[in-house]
Structure 1
Amino acid sequence: MTRWPAEWEPHQAVWIGFPGDPAEWPVGRAAAQQEVAAFADAVAAEGAGEQVVLVCRDAADAEIARDLVPSCVEVVVEPFGDVWLRDTAAIFVMGPGGPEGRNFGFNGWGGKFDMAGDQDIAERLAQRFNLPISDEDWILEGGAIDGDGAGRLITTEQCVLNPNRNANLIREQVAERLRKALAAADICWLGDGLVADHTDGHVDNLARFVAPGTVVIPEADSADDPNRVIFEDAARRARSSGLEVIRLPSAGRYEVDGDIAPASYMNFYIGNKIVAVPQYGAENDARAVEQIAALFPDRKVAGLSSQALLRGGGSFHCISQQIPLSV
């Protein structure tokens, strides 16, 4: 029987993309590299059998990475265009014989960022680590979905039903493909994702499973939060789908160089023994860590700077992809 494990279930490894392309990181590249290294170091420091692999686009970036992380972090070179491996690497389910990669099509987030290396990085990484992989003939990014390991899945209409992804598929067809590829028996369709999210509303910035049937969704506490209506609509839809909803702090109105940016504490990464929570120098940073820690009493919950990473459009969840452990 095939199953898509929840992120809090044991991992054998996690792949983390390492920022390097100066064209993609014209401002704050060194700071983004340091934030990713700190993230990799934090996951590796907790051990628990989760091998941490930093994926670099070339040898020069790999040299920088090796100087920033401890020797227990493996550094490899596999060329890619953009750094967000949550979306370009395979999504791993647990099959009868162990982890199996699902290699979905990728079109640069609806044709906005079409970069060499992103279309085949999933296959190359799977081959490098001797993991089986199979192709899916439609477009889906890992950040667009989240699962609870028990057949429940959340996603957004804005992204997955966007005509810039699969114009020939209607909702029922997408749902059937999700069921076949990821054993999704129960799909909760949220509406829009965060304002200014160039991914067209990835759910991992909006709502995340933290237990079977339980999701966390931000709650705005300031009048100028650009996502106030979006959060409330997501919470209503989730409850209507039978999910338990826990509200967590919003990062509020957050700007980069005068423009609204999709800062979200929902972009946390759940490792075997650690939860890494993005921090933005915002008022609710500490409160977000405290409340997420209450949801994961068996793990260390660490707030880590993600301000430079956000310049590229994402954070720790976006930049990582876990491989489940056979148990």
Structure 2
Amino acid sequence: MAFRMPAEWAPHESVWIGFPSSADAWGAPLHHAQQQIAAFANAVHASGRGERIHLVAGSAEAAAIAVGLVESGVHVEQRLIGDIWLRDTACIVVKDSNHRIARNFGFNGWGGRFDYPGDKSIGQELAVAAGLEVATADWILEGGSIDVDGEGLAATTVDCLLNPNRNPMLDQYAIEARLRDDLGIQRLLWLGDGLANDHTDGHIDNLARFVGVNHILIPQGAGSDDPNEAVFEDARKRAEAFGCRVSRIPSVGRFLQDREIVPASYMNFYIGNAAIVVPLYGARNDDAAIATLASLFPDREVVGVMADAVLTGGGSFHCSSQQVPT
């Protein structure tokens, strides 16, 4: 069996979660963002029924705050983390029938937008600490830009993976070949644009997520003022034409922070061993999103946790986490 990236619903040994630590980066929302990430970690831990949690703080002060907010079984550690988005800066762990390898991809601050000390080193540091073999890839890939069903199928967006600010020398076919070699991806569903004003250039984990083999979940627009209505419909059409089974989940709809449209999305949920944790925004479809995920994952508890403060940093719970498969 060749090395392959497992589906997120496959069993996890542990998960790395970034903890907001920098007042310079987060500003006034820092305290509330810390509370929300801690609530996320507690929900994944599920009183010991979930995977082992490594909550990574960027300073001694932040680590002390984290310890005061999480359950006793959540492991808090201090490292030079940069920002919290470990989905993109940590390694992606692949496995065959007997071994695991941590693939350490290049990272350039989402196309040169941000440059925080630690973002380029935290992936290898965490993998080595976990006792994993590390293999370094010679191209740029963020974990939030791909989602897999564990059987060789992945989804991504043209908006991100073919953006010249990542790998300008690689065309579509070269990227597909590298995904096959590094992550065991045999088929790639190319969706179009990502969400409006997403500074990641359209990460897939805000747009479409696999919930089963060849089964993908895509939001349903929340009305005529939903800024992503056309994006969702284009994604649905592409997925169906590709041969995927498509389910729908209500969209957050038009969501503003500081009078600007921001990419609030229920799709940024995390699939843990015991719980599915879905970000909430105080929006009208919060309860419907929880109900949809509960119907798709009847073997797991679905927990909604407020994420509006975390969103001010540019992402949500899935973005802040990276699982280590058993």
Shift of 1:241: 1.1
Structure 2 unpaired stretches of 5+: none
Paired amino acid for 2:108: N
What is the alpha-carbon distance in structure 2 between the residues aligned to residue 192 and residue 310 of structure 1? 20
Aligned to 1:111: 112
Aligned to 1:304: 305
Cα deviation code 1:132-168 (max 9, x no counterpart): 1100000000000000000000000110110000000
Name the stretch that deviates more: 60-69 or 104-113.
Answer: 60-69
Name the stretch that deviates more: 292-301 or 121-130.
Answer: 121-130
Cα deviation code 1:163-207 (max 9, x no counterpart): 000000000000000000010011000001000101000000000
SS of corresponding position for 2:132: coil
What is the alpha-carbon distance in structure 2 between the residues aligned to residue 286 and residue 192 of structure 1? 27
Is 1:195 equivalent to 2:193 in the alignment?
Answer: no
Please say if residues 89 and 103 of structure 1, whose CA atoms lie closer than 8 Å, have aligned partners that are also in contact. yes
Is 1:174 equivalent to 2:159 in the alignment?
Answer: no
TM-score, L = length of structure 1? 0.98
Cα deviation code 1:68-107 (max 9, x no counterpart): 1122000111102111000000001113433211100000
Paired amino acid for 1:189: W
What is the alpha-carbon distance in structure 2 between the residues aligned to residue 232 and residue 197 of structure 1? 18
What is the alpha-carbon distance in structure 2 between the residues aligned to residue 55 and residue 62 of structure 1? 8
Shift of 1:48: 3.6
Cα deviation code 1:36-85 (max 9, x no counterpart): 11111111125345101100112111111111112200011110211100
| Correspondence 1:63-74 to 2 at 5 A | 63-74=64-75
Aligned to 1:120: 121
Shift of 1:30: 0.5
| Correspondence 1:47-126 to 2 at 5 A | 47-48=48-49, 50-126=51-127
- Matched pairs, number: 325
Aligned to 2:146: 145
SS of corresponding position for 1:45: helix
Please say if residues 48 and 73 of structure 2, whose CA atoms lie closer than 8 Å, have aligned partners that are also in contact. no
Please say if residues 40 and 52 of structure 1, whose CA atoms lie closer than 8 Å, have aligned partners that are also in contact. yes
Aligned to 1:18: 19
SS of corresponding position for 1:165: coil
What is the alpha-carbon distance in structure 1 between the residues aligned to residue 41 and residue 50 of structure 2? 14
What is the alpha-carbon distance in structure 1 between the residues aligned to residue 30 and residue 50 of structure 2? 30
SS of corresponding position for 1:122: helix
What is the alpha-carbon distance in structure 1 between the residues aligned to residue 49 and residue 67 of structure 2? 22
Name the stretch that deviates more: 48-57 or 12-21.
Answer: 48-57
Aligned to 2:38: 37
Please say if residues 104 and 136 of structure 1, whose CA atoms lie closer than 8 Å, have aligned partners that are also in contact. yes
What is the alpha-carbon distance in structure 1 between the residues aligned to residue 49 and residue 92 of structure 2? 22
Please say if residues 154 and 189 of structure 2, whose CA atoms lie closer than 8 Å, have aligned partners that are also in contact. yes
Name the stretch that deviates more: 230-239 or 90-99.
Answer: 90-99
Aligned to 2:218: 217
What is the alpha-carbon distance in structure 2 between the residues aligned to residue 201 and residue 228 of structure 1? 15
Paired amino acid for 1:301: V
| Correspondence 1:155-304 to 2 at 5 A | 155-304=156-305
Aligned to 1:154: 155
Aligned to 1:321: 322
SS of corresponding position for 1:36: helix
Paired amino acid for 2:190: W
Shift of 1:221: 2.6
What is the alpha-carbon distance in structure 1 between the residues aligned to residue 6 and residue 128 of structure 2? 21
SS of corresponding position for 2:101: strand
SS of corresponding position for 2:150: coil
SS of corresponding position for 2:276: strand
Please say if residues 248 and 291 of structure 1, whose CA atoms lie closer than 8 Å, have aligned partners that are also in contact. yes
SS of corresponding position for 2:25: coil
Structure 1 unpaired stretches of 5+: none
Shift of 1:247: 1.0
What is the alpha-carbon distance in structure 2 between the residues aligned to residue 140 and residue 114 of structure 1? 16
What is the alpha-carbon distance in structure 2 between the residues aligned to residue 65 and residue 99 of structure 1? 30
1:142/1:170 CA distance change after superposition, 3 Å: same
